[in-house]
Structure 1
Amino acid sequence: MIDRVITKGTFSLDGGTWEVDNNVWVVGDAREVVVIDAAHDAAPIAERVGGRAVRAILCTHAHNDHVNAAADLARLTGAPIRLHPDDQVLWEQVYGPEVSYEPLADGEKLVAGGNVLEILHTPGHSPGAVCVSAPELGVLFSGDTLFKGGPGATGRSYSSFETIIDSIRKRLLTLPAETVVHTGHGDSTSIGAEAPHLEEWIARGH
């Protein structure tokens, strides 16, 4: 069972602010779920969760638009916030030292409603960016690492185009072509749809 909640708000970094719509993914069954990227407003996310237990609030990275509802949702649900510690500097820009999280590790596996979710560290968009692979569901939750049409943005602080391309090539394009990619913003895609365009992205990025 995969639900999407679209929330609206702003993304701010390096002195700029942009209006954005975010995909919040709720994965599990009728009893328990994991929430991926609690963005902007905890209320509609909690409403979609309903009476189910939240096992974890997973953050694919710590840009403010992906974590700014995490603390409120944690208070509402009692769930731990999980983040790769390489994004500590970005986390502190949002929450300072007041809100803590439990560190995620590359290769770590979590279970929600019988669904195994594996953490893939995919730096580039940010140092601690991760994707969440659910092989039994044939799905990847890519955060802002891979979108329909190309890699996530790398033009701001703590990002690297070369690193994100390396992450996509080694960690994502090795997944089955039929894997559905649920992204942090916009429409979903698939590994098979994106893989043929890798060299175009590299040429465009340089």
Structure 2
Amino acid sequence: MPLTVRSFVVSPFAENTYVLSSGGEAALVDPGTATREERRQVEDYLEAEGLAVRHLLLTHGHIDHVFGAAHFARTLGGAAEHGGWQMHPADGPLLQNAPVQGERFGVRVDAPPPAAHDLADGDTLTVGDTTLRVLHVPGHSPGSVAFYDEAGGQLVGGDVLFQGSIGRTDLWQGSMDTLLASIRDRVLTLPDETVVYSGHGPATTVGAERRANPFLRDL
């Protein structure tokens, strides 16, 4: 079965939390769910679709993507591979300091547990009948990753590339040069028809951003 991508727009940051599913299995990606009601929406969807959560995945460790990380580690971690969240180790300090990040933005964040498993560029993950490849795409944060479904032509990209824009680089260890290199070398090398599911805003395609994104004109 092809990979289904279901998004939930959550929190004051209007973050996209994703459930990726295929063949009765699911991956929960970037739980930005900041309230009990938002978390219940995700849980109700998993239950209604009869999905077993195989992977808990983080594209990066900024607070708007981890509000619900502590909750879902408790409720879903025991049955997930590696027993908890998987992320690139370069963003470990961000995850560890999520409550401090929250204080700087004036919001409360439950302290997530440390990542249970480190992701690396080129790793593969299986969700039902779908294989996801991990792409390390630093720049927005040092450990940003994207999850690429080559067979389905889909990329879950976190805050690397948006419709008409790119991720901010003014936060801890962000780098505009590094981000643009990641987009040039890891994203724009994908087929134009690849659908990009971003951490905020609507989905787009590689081709649309190649043609019209003002930040990519010189790439």
- Measured against the shorter chain, the TM-score band is 0.7 to 0.9
Q: Who is 2:6 aligned against?
A: 4
1:35-114 to 2 correspondences below 5 Å: 35-40=28-33, 41-50=38-47, 51-77=50-76, 78=78, 79=80, 80-94=84-98, 99-101=113-115, 102-114=117-129
Q: Distance in 1 between matches of 2:14 and 2:66?
A: 13
1:1-206 to 2 correspondences below 5 Å: 1-9=3-11, 19-40=12-33, 41-50=38-47, 51-77=50-76, 78=78, 79=80, 80-94=84-98, 99-101=113-115, 102-197=117-212, 200-201=214-215
Q: Who is 2:108 aligned against?
A: none
**Relative to 1, partners in 2 of residues 1:26 and 1:39: Cα closer, same or farther, differing over 3 Å?**
same
AA paired with 2:27? V
What is the RMSD computed on CA atoms of the aligned residues? 2.0
> Which structure shows the higher strand fraction?
1
AA paired with 2:129? G
Deviates more, 1:46-55 or 1:122-131: 46-55
AA paired with 1:81? W
CA contact (8 A) 1:132 1:140 kept: yes
1:203 deviates by: 7.3
CA contact (8 A) 2:23 2:129 kept: no
For residues 150-173 of structure 1, the C-alpha deviation after alignment (integer angstroms, 9 at most, x for no partner) is 211112222111110000000000
CA contact (8 A) 1:42 1:70 kept: no
Q: Who is 1:15 aligned against?
A: none
Q: Secondary structure at the match of 1:20?
A: coil
Q: Distance in 1 between matches of 2:194 and 2:7?
A: 21
Q: Distance in 2 between matches of 1:30 and 1:115?
A: 9
AA paired with 1:29? S
Deviates more, 1:167-176 or 1:88-97: 88-97
CA contact (8 A) 2:23 2:127 kept: no
Q: Distance in 2 between matches of 1:137 and 1:170?
A: 20
1:71 deviates by: 2.2
Q: Secondary structure at the match of 1:68?
A: coil
**Relative to 1, partners in 2 of residues 1:113 and 1:202: Cα closer, same or farther, differing over 3 Å?**
closer
Deviates more, 1:136-145 or 1:89-98: 89-98
Q: Secondary structure at the match of 1:5?
A: strand
Q: Which runs of 5 or more residues in structure 2 are unaligned?
A: 101-110
Q: Distance in 2 between matches of 1:30 and 1:69?
A: 25
Q: Distance in 1 between matches of 2:180 and 2:133?
A: 20
Q: Distance in 2 between matches of 1:65 and 1:194?
A: 24
Q: Distance in 2 between matches of 1:6 and 1:190?
A: 19
Q: Which runs of 5 or more residues in structure 1 are unaligned?
A: 10-18
